[in-house]
Amino acid sequence: MVRDFTGRTVIVTGAGSGIGRATAVLLATEGAELTLVDVDEQGLAGTGDELEKASPGSRALLVTADVSREEEVAGYVRATMETFGRIDGVVNNAGIEGKHGLTEDYGTEELDRVIGVNLVGVHLGMRHTLKIMREQRRGAIVNMASLAGIRGVAQRAGYVAAKHGVIGLTRSAALEYGRFGIRVNAIAPGGVLTPLVERAMREAGGDNWRELADAAGTPMGRLGAPEDIAAPVAFLLSPEAAFINGTVLTIDGGQSTAAF
């Protein structure tokens, strides 16, 4: 299926690498005008280069911003309206994993940091764009949750709590804004081979990191690729998903299907 986002504007946060970059590239090839947001200026520039290769001449506004800071979120939303005049879609993808450790050792400073990016960042992204979408009487939002937002993961207290919260925010907003023609959904990926995950695999597996990744616990025998998530994100933003609202789509290669 070929989607056409021509004339539509989409904001993608966490666009400097991984799922965010793959989503940006896909949407650009399908004609979208983009505002790409990341705290990593160098990564964001790299995404801009990838867009130019994949879709020469595509329109993209690159904004370096921290999604946990309200004034910076308001800034990228304002810049989007000044540049494109509309917001049709938002992908609240920016996230960090945070430290690993027992809950009793998980300090409030680290908790605030992880919750700030992963949960508050999603709330702020919705807060500042839902107002505009409500006036437009249209819009679609995709929030990036995680398989960790559906079930528990040991030694990841902050991350797990934040991703559970993302699902709660998604469902609440879906109930509130559906009558305005706005859809709000979430995606819950399992293991995805992003640069962050690859680095962790290399540290754990050394020269055998690829074998470790391929044995990562999915019935399909591999981790997901960022492109495996980007395509469903684009679908949920598109008119083809016009009656999908408040849904959490799990994309994990069947990992969560297993009882043990």
Q: How big is the CA angle at 203 (ends 201 and 207), to the nearest 5 degrees?
A: 80
Is 159 assigned a catalytic role? yes
Rounded distance between C-alpha atoms, residue 134 and residue 143, angstroms = 18
Which one of the listed residues 76, 106, 159, 177 is annotated catalytic? Answer: 159
**Are 246 and 184 within 8 A, CB to CB?**
yes
CB atoms within 10 A of CB 189: 25
Note the helical H segments in the chain.
18-29, 41-54, 70-84, 108-115, 121-136, 157-177, 195-205, 209-214, 226-237
Question: Residue 13's closest CA among 120, 97, 110, 122?
Answer: 122
Backbone phi, then psi, for 140, in 5-degree steps?
-140, 135
Catalytic residues: 159
